[in-house]
Amino acid sequence: MAENPDHRSYDELFIGGRWRKPSSPERLTVISPHSEEPIGHVPTAGPEDVEAAVGAARTAFDHGPWPRMEPQERMRKIEGLAAIYGRNLDAMADLITAEMGSPRSFSRLGQAAGAASMIHLALAVARDFPWVERRQGVLGEAHLRRAPVGVVGAIVPWNVPQCLIMPKLIPALIAGCTVVLKPAPETPLDALWLAEMIEQADLPEGVVSVVTGGPDVGEALVRHPAVDKIAFTGSSATGRRIAALCGEQLKRVSLELGGKSAAIILDDADLDKTVAGLKTAGLMNNGQACVAQTRILVSERRHDEVVDALADMMSALHVGDPSDEKTDIGPLVAQRQQRRVQDYIRSGLQDGARLVVGGDDPPADRGWYVRPTLFTGATNDMRIAREEIFGPVLTVLTYRDEDDAVRIANDSDYGLAGSVWTADTAHGLDIAGRVRTGTYGINMYMLDISTPFGGFKNSGIGREFGPEGLDEYVELQSVACNGKLPPLPS
C-alpha cells in the first residue's frame, strides 16, 4: 500500500488496483489558489499508463470475479470503502480546500460529507434495485436481467471533485463495471487518496484505476475502443466533443454539463429569506457550481429593494483564506479562471450593465480572488446573462410579468437548474412545470442527492443519483423462453 500520510505527493499511479511507476517522467504540480505556492505533485499518466489501466479494467471485466459476483457481495466491499471513507471526512475536506480553494465550511458539508452520503445513498438504491425481474411478454413470461455496462471511463472536473467522482464510481462498481477514473489536473490529490482507500477496501485486481493528467489523458480514455462507456462531468464544449467521439464508436455516454440558472423572484416572495437563500444558491463554492442561480429575475416593482438587499448581502461577504472557518468566498481555482471571470465583469460593463457591487480589480495581492460582483440593468442577450461565468458574479434581470419571467428563464442554451421564490408554493410548482431544467427549487436551491440530477438542453444527457443513476451503468437483457422459466431465487 502507498504510505502517504499527508496525501500531497505521489510518485506512482494507481493502475488496476496497484501502485505503479508511471511510464512518463512528466509531473503535475498542484498549486494553492490562496498562496499561489505548490502544495503537491503527482505523475502525469502517459499513453502507456492509460493503456495499462484500460487493459487491466478490460481483463477484470471479461475474466475477473467482480462482474460475476452477486450485487450483494459487491455491495459489501463498497460498505467497507464507505467505512474507511467515513473515518477521513475532515481531512478530505481540508485537502480539497487546499487544492481548489473551496471555503472550509463548504468543503466539510458540501464536499466530503456530501460524497460520503452519496456512497450510502447509492448502496440504499442498490438494495431495492430490480437486478432481475419477470414480466409478462406477448411470447410468454420474460426474464429481465440488468447486466453491467462494462469498462467505464469516468472523467470529472475540479469544482466538487469527490462529489463528482462518487455518483459515477460507486453505482458503476455496484453494477459490476470496472472503472478508470480521470480526475481534473487541478485536483488529482483527493482522487489519489481515494485510490489509497480503495486499495484498503481490497477490491479484485483491475477493478479500479486512477489516471491523472489533462485533456489528452481524458481523450485517450474516450477514444479507447476497450472502454464501453464514458461518464463525464464538465463543460458543455468538452461534453459535445466527447459525445461526438463516443458517437463514432457507439459508446455509451452520460454527460453532466454546464448551467446558467435563473432564480425567479415573484412579487409575493419574502425578501430576507430569498436573499439569504440566494447567498448559498448563487454563490456557493465561490460561485464555482454548475447549478449556481446566477440570473436573478425580478419584476420592475420589486427591483430596487431586491438589488439593495442583494448588494448588502454581497458587500458583507467575508472574502479570504478558504481554510478560515469564517470565509464565505475563497479564491477561484486557477489564475486562468480568475482572469476569465474578470473578463466577464469587464464584458458586463462594456455591454452596458450597471455594476452595483464588486468589480474586476482583485481584492488581494496574492491568491486568485475575485470580488463578489453584482450587476443590474442587464439584458438576457449579454454575455454575462448567457454564458457560464463560474465565479461569484450575479446578474439581475427585470421581467414585465410572470410569462416574461418564464420566457427569460427558458431563453438559455442551458437547462440544468432553476428556482422560484414565492409565498405560494402551489404557484411555485406551477412555475417549475413551465421551466425547462432538470432540477428546480421552490424557495431554495439545493441539490438533493437522493433524486435524479441532470440537464435538459446543453446541460447534459442522462441522470445521476437514485435508481436512474444506477440505470446508467447497466444494460438491460430480455430473455424469452420456449418452456417454463425456473422460479426466481427468493
Of the residues 99, 186, 196, 256, only one is catalytic, namely: 256
Q: Which of residues 149-168 bind ligand NAD (CB under 6 A)?
A: 155-159, 164
256 as an active site residue: the answer is: yes
From the CB of 219, what's the least distance to ligand NAD, in Å? 4
**Cell 485517450 found at:** 220
CA angle (161, 246, 125) in 5-degree steps: 50
**Contact range with ligand NAD by CB under 6 A, out of 74-82, 218-226, 265-273, 429-437:** 218-226
Cα–Cα distance between 311 and 306 in angstroms, integer? 8
Total of residues contacting ligand NAD (CB under 6 A): 30
Tell which one of 80, 86, 204, 214 touches ligand NAD (CB under 6 A): 214
**Contact range with ligand NAD by CB under 6 A, out of 23-31, 100-108, 180-188, 481-489:** 180-188
Is position 434 an interface residue for ligand NAD (rule: CB under 6 A)? Answer: no
Cα–Cα distance between 328 and 104 in angstroms, integer? 9
Tell which one of 184, 311, 406, 409 touches ligand NAD (CB under 6 A): 184
Helix (H, G, I), strand (E, B) or coil at 432: helix
From the CB of 131, what's the least distance to ligand NAD, in Å? 27
What x/- string results for residues 223 through 252 when contact with ligand NAD is judged by CB under 6 A? ----------xxx--x--xx----------
Residues 6+ apart with CB under 8 A from 446: 280, 281
What x/- string results for residues 270 through 309 when contact with ligand NAD is judged by CB under 6 A? --------------------x-------------------
Tell which one of 12, 51, 199, 219 touches ligand NAD (CB under 6 A): 219
Q: Which of 391, 379, 368 is nearest to 320 (CA)?
A: 368
Tell which one of 7, 77, 182, 260 touches ligand NAD (CB under 6 A): 182
Is position 258 an interface residue for ligand NAD (rule: CB under 6 A)? Answer: yes
**Contact range with ligand NAD by CB under 6 A, out of 115-123, 136-144, 182-190, 306-314:** 182-190
CA angle (185, 249, 151) in 5-degree steps: 60
Relative to beta strand 13-15, strand 18-20 is antiparallel
Measured from the CB atom, the residue of 269 and 447 that comes closer to ligand NAD is: 447
CB 257 within 8 A of CB 416: yes
Relative to beta strand 38-43, strand 151-155 is unpaired
What x/- string results for residues 388 through 427 when contact with ligand NAD is judged by CB under 6 A? x-x-------------------------x-----------
Cell output for 26:
512528466
Is position 215 an interface residue for ligand NAD (rule: CB under 6 A)? Answer: yes
Task: Point out the residue whose Cβ comes nearest to ligand NAD.
Answer: 218
CB 6 within 8 A of CB 193: no
Is position 452 an interface residue for ligand NAD (rule: CB under 6 A)? Answer: no
- CA 444, 449, 455, 456: dihedral to nearest 10 degrees? -70
From the CB of 461, what's the least distance to ligand NAD, in Å? 11
Is position 257 an interface residue for ligand NAD (rule: CB under 6 A)? Answer: yes
- Measured between alpha carbons, how far is residue 452 from residues 145, 164, 261, 349 in Å? 22, 14, 17, 38
Backbone torsions φ then ψ of 210, nearest 5 degrees: -125, 120
Is position 260 an interface residue for ligand NAD (rule: CB under 6 A)? Answer: no
Torsion sign, CA atoms 335, 338, 341, 343: negative
Q: Which of residues 89-118 bind ligand NAD (CB under 6 A)?
A: none
Is position 432 an interface residue for ligand NAD (rule: CB under 6 A)? Answer: no
Q: Which of 163, 156, 172 is nearest to 229 (CA)?
A: 172
Cα–Cα distance between 333 and 12 in angstroms, integer? 25
Q: What are the residue ranges of helices labelled H in 351-437?
A: 383-386, 402-410, 425-432
3-state secondary structure 449-467: CCCCECCEECCEECCECHH
Measured from the CB atom, the residue of 106 and 399 that comes closer to ligand NAD is: 106
Measured from the CB atom, the residue of 97 and 233 that comes closer to ligand NAD is: 233
From the CB of 50, what's the least distance to ligand NAD, in Å? 11
CA angle (330, 335, 338) in 5-degree steps: 60
Kindly list the catalytic residues: 256
Interface residue list for ligand NAD (CB under 6 A): 155-159, 164, 182, 184-185, 214-215, 218-219, 222, 233-235, 238, 241-242, 256-259, 290, 388, 390, 416, 455, 460
